[in-house]
Amino acid sequence: MMISPGSKQTFRSSMLTIGILLLTGISGCEKVEKYVVTINKPDKVWDSYTLPSSALGGYTPVIDMEGNVVTHYDCGGNPSKLLPDSSILCYASKIGGFVQKTLRQMSPDGQVLWEFNDWDGDSARQHHDFQFAGGNPVGYYVPDMDMIGPAAGGNMLVLSYLTHKRSEQDIRKGRLIDSVLYDIDASGNLLWQWHAIDHIDEMGFSESALKDLERGILESDWLHLNTASYIGPNKWYSEQGDERFHPDNIMIGSPNARWIAIISKVTGDIVWRLGPDYSPGNPGADFNGLNFSHAAHIIPEGLPGAGNLLVFDNGKASGYGDQHARGRRSRTLEINPIDFSVVWEFKHPRSSPIMGNVQRLPNGNTFITEGVSGVMLEVTPEKEVVWQARGWPLYRAYRVPKDWVQTNTLFTDIQK
């Protein structure tokens, strides 16, 4: 039996993922951690706190610029996201995992402010991402932009999974795990949903890629979507009237298939796409496309580089059929989404084949999570690393303003 390069890579990737998840699980169970800061240039950094989150384990710390844990939340996240009132959106499980049954918003003292687990089979089935619908489009700090959690009446956009039997789909010979987006209000009422399986013809797969998908040996999670964010207010829509970038539209990314796309919130159609065909003359060909990318989003208005696409390009071998590409070193890319030119690029000294995150900071620096190595770093536009810390492997980390955090002085004293 002939096995395609993509299928071979799937097997190797699965084995790698299992090993890393075991490490990540250990990290999530740690209750007191000291992150080792190896670089800190106070005059060049955005002075703030860092929120590292592991997909496994029931614990999310908050660390200062010296690596001290200033407080923690007794819940994990895939990812965890902090709100301006110091509450956190996380999951309820104490063990964790990449698919979550229950989403929670918790106060700093551990009070459950909101909870949801009622989408499919008494489960939220959340994986990899979620957003607060209304206000902030990307789930991290933007000056003068509010973030409204469900406990305050805000809606939620949730990235989830739905499993189809062989008889229910014709994409794959075997069961297929599909990615689904849905909107809920604060009461848990379903407002909107989108199923990736319904839009395969809009994803740019070649005939070879479709055949590879059909006979996939292990890849039942065919797209493995790992990001979902609103486009938000932007110059492409407000100044040029480009409907593809309507603020309510949603950006998603498939690391397995090597594409990023924008979904119309009104029609559900894919209206913009980068990949998976990076042959000469196609968008992304000039920078050799994306390999297993994470955290793709449009930089929000109010931050330097607003309107550009920011993405962590892991570099792991990925893609199906003749759209498959070999692995390479990880990099962070800032891309003009209209002409697909590279605005800024940072080549990482370490590779992170899975996991990772990128965040544009108010001072123009970029905060990056190298998931596998557990390294978090702040990089200037001139590509100088001005802050670097290392901990256990982690899924994502975010920088948050200090006034968003209620510090625990007793907890900090324990580490001294």
- Interacting residues of 47 by C-beta distance below 8 A, sequence separation 6+: 65, 402
User: Is 416 a residue whose pLDDT tops 50?
Assistant: no
Residue with tokens 């109010």: 302
31-35, 160-164, 363-367: the lowest-pLDDT one: 31-35
pLDDT of residue 29: 41
20 or 205: which leads in pLDDT: 205
β-partners of residue 147 are: 135
Instruction: Pull the structure tokens for residue 129.
Output: 């991402």
Cβ atoms of 56 and 355 closer than 8 Å: no
Separation CA 130–CA 83 (nearest Å)? 13
The answer to whether residues 353 and 327 touch, using CB atoms and an 8 Å cutoff, is yes
Q: What is the pLDDT at residue 31?
A: 54
- For the chain, list the domains and their CATH numbers: 5-415 (2.120.10.30)
In which band, very low, low, confident or very high, does the pLDDT at 33 lie, cut at 50, 70 and 90? low
Give pLDDT tens digits for 371-413.
Answer: 999 999 999 999 999 999 998 888 999 999 999 999 864 444 4
pLDDT digits (tens, 9 = 90+) for 124-149: 999 999 999 878 999 999 999 999 99
Q: State the pLDDT at residue 20.
A: 47
pLDDT digits (tens, 9 = 90+) for 55-96: 667 889 999 999 999 999 999 998 999 999 999 999 988 776
Instruction: Share the mean pLDDT of the chain.
Output: 90
* pLDDT recorded at residue 219: 62
CA 64, CA 216: separation in Å to the nearest integer? 45
pLDDT of residue 52: 95
pLDDT digits (tens, 9 = 90+) for 263-300: 999 999 999 999 999 999 999 999 999 999 999 999 99
10 Å Cβ neighbour count for 227?
24
Mean pLDDT score, 158-181:
94
Distances (CA, A) of 214 to 37, 48, 136, 207, 334: 46, 47, 38, 11, 33
Residue 28 has pLDDT above 60, yes or no: no
The CA distance from 223 to 252, in Å, is: 11
- As given in the structure block, the two tokens for residue 154 are 């805000």
Given phi > 0 = left and psi -120 to 50 = alpha, else beta, which region is 268?
left
Q: What confidence tens digit (pLDDT) does each residue in 206-237 have?
A: 999 999 999 866 569 999 999 999 999 999 99
Looking at the chain, the whole-number percentage of residues with pLDDT higher than 70 is 88
